[in-house]
Amino acid sequence: MKFSLLVFVASILVVAAVTADTDTESCSVNGDDCGEAIEDKSSNFWKGDTGFSKDVLNSHLKDVGEEMNALEMEIIMSYLDGNKDNIVSQAEFKKVLNQRYDLIAQTAFDTFNSFDADLDALITLEEIQEKLGEHIDTEGLLLISLDIDAFPESKVDILSFFKPLIRLGKDISKVLTPFLQLHHLLPLESKKAIEGTLKMFTDIDTDGDGNLIKEEYLNSMNRPLPNGKTLTDEQKLAIFGTLDTNKDDKVSYLEFQVIMPQKQKDFTENLLAIFKETDINEDGFITEEELRAHLHTQSSLLKIPAPSEAEIEETFAKLDKDLDDKLSFEEMKALIEEFKKVQQARHSMAFKELDKDGNGHLSKDEIQEIVRIMEERSGQKIDPELLTKMLDKNDDGSVTFDEVQSLIQRFQPQD
């Protein structure tokens, strides 16, 4: 049997898993509550255009029930203090709270980068000391050292850095909270994912107004896909419509964030939900007619050609292991396992093609070939050293197939 439809059916299940609902309204990750927005309480301590130093601002925050440790205060001050005079004015505070969604994310990212001197996506005590310089005394540095010791290896990643900022205001929380879903990635990968969404959004937003309109989006999607084909305007508009959740004919950065890599839920859980959706009469089995209806519906939604009758019949016969003219949940699970085998075989074949000397490792020159292919297909500049860091987990200067698979699997649903 041809694998085309088998892969197509499994791909529908994968798409369903990728587009599963995620909670982006909650200001928490791993059970950590981010608290009520300081924005709602700030009117109690602003008087005219009075500017506050770090100590005074911290005192006022305590008065309205906000406890910040020394590290959190330095993060917040660096974010709020636009002119870097170590004083936060009411104008600066309001400017930050009233920024566009994309500028909120960019300001937070730039603030983290201002600490991350070696650009390894982790902030150390030494980097904080270098950043603050004469503006931090010995006692303040000691308090920060105690706070930073609570983090793994005494280093702060970008997601942890964003947490105190999330408490500043509702819009800031809306923009930065979705980034916390990247906690399944390594620190450098999280940082690059955030940077990537910002760059992509900025590149598409040619008029720089903070929203993507249909014309901008259509123009940005003219690059060919990896298989050499291009999307039709109908397919592009379907994707735009999916991103435009409030249906105002434009996509804000908040809506655009859905493109970020997300850790997938358990495959069995997602597959069970799809199985129930396909099982129209709810008898615990899927008939050929129910499978046909589901595939045609999904094909229409994805704007791709529907499978032929012959392909559906052939696929159903292959999945129906016990020949009872209906598919059980266990039989459907077998489809995913076969799909995984096909995918792994493809990955292995691609790796062998890149591994020119056949030694089971990708050298710097071979990785450079990957970079060339990625740049050609994406139209974006790829940093070969960064790619190597993401792949080379044991830091031996080369990349194995297992290391490539490890990176791929972090973006796939787990059993």
Give me the DSSP letters along 344-360: HHHHHHHHHHH-TT-SS
Instruction: Show the tokens assigned to 203.
Output: 């590149």
Of 221, 222, 264, 233, the residue nearest 412 (C-alpha): 264
122 in a domain, yes or no? yes
pLDDT at site 233: 82
Exposed / middle / buried, residue 79 (Cβ in 10 Å: 0-12, 13-18, 19+)? buried
Q: How far does Cα 233 stand from its chain's mean position?
A: 26
21 in a domain, yes or no? no
pLDDT at site 231: 72
Can you tell me which residue has the tokens 């898993």?
Answer: 17
CA distance 37 to 167: 5
Plot region of 400 (φ>0 → left; ψ -120 to 50 → alpha; else → beta): beta
pLDDT at site 264: 54
153 in a domain, yes or no? yes
99 in a domain, yes or no? yes
Phi, psi of 327, deg, nearest 5: -105, 125
pLDDT at site 108: 96
Strand segments (E) across 234-301: 250-252
Q: Is 5 helix (H, G, I), strand (E, B) or coil?
A: helix
pLDDT at site 105: 95
Domain count, the chain: 1
Q: Which domain holds residue 162?
A: 32-184
320 in a domain, yes or no? no
CA distance 343 to 352: 14
In tens, the pLDDT along 281-318 reads 999 999 999 988 988 887 776 666 777 888 888 888 88
pLDDT at site 375: 66
Which residues of the chain, if any, have pLDDT below 50?
1-5, 7-9, 12-35, 48-49, 226, 411-415
103 in a domain, yes or no? yes
pLDDT at site 339: 66
136 in a domain, yes or no? yes
CATH number at residue 137: 1.10.238
pLDDT at site 408: 59
CA distance 315 to 6: 7
pTM of the model: 0.63
Which residue type, as a one-letter code, is found at position 146? L
pLDDT at site 181: 87
Q: How far does Cα 320 stand from its chain's mean position?
A: 37
172 in a domain, yes or no? yes
Please count the other Cβ atoms lying within 10 Å of the Cβ belonging to residue 152: 10
